Amino acid sequence: MRTIRIDLPDHAGDDQVAGLAHALWAVVATTGLAAESRISVDERLTDSQLNAAFDTAAEHYPWGP
């Protein structure tokens, strides 16, 4: 498995982390590697918090629904 790591400052908010994670996943999906890849965040943000933060922030993303 290949790895790309991004270290964010401690003050990065849940919505910022969620936005970055989902934007990065969109890029991974365009490469055709999504089915064999995974994305992880630190223990400070659970999957449900990540999804909730994304849902809240996504309406402001230019590529959002």
Query: Alpha-carbon distance 13 to 53, whole Å?
Result: 9
Q: What is the pLDDT of residue 60?
A: 72
Query: Alpha-carbon distance 32 to 37, whole Å?
Result: 10
CB atoms within 10 A of CB 24: 13
pLDDT tens, residue by residue, 1-39: 999 999 999 999 888 888 888 889 889 999 999 999 998
Query: Alpha-carbon distance 36 to 6, whole Å?
Result: 20
Q: Is the pLDDT of residue 65 over 80?
A: no
Question: Does the predicted model carry a pTM greater than 0.75?
Answer: no
Q: Please report, for the chain, the start and end positions of each structural domain, with discontinuous segments joined by +.
A: 14-58
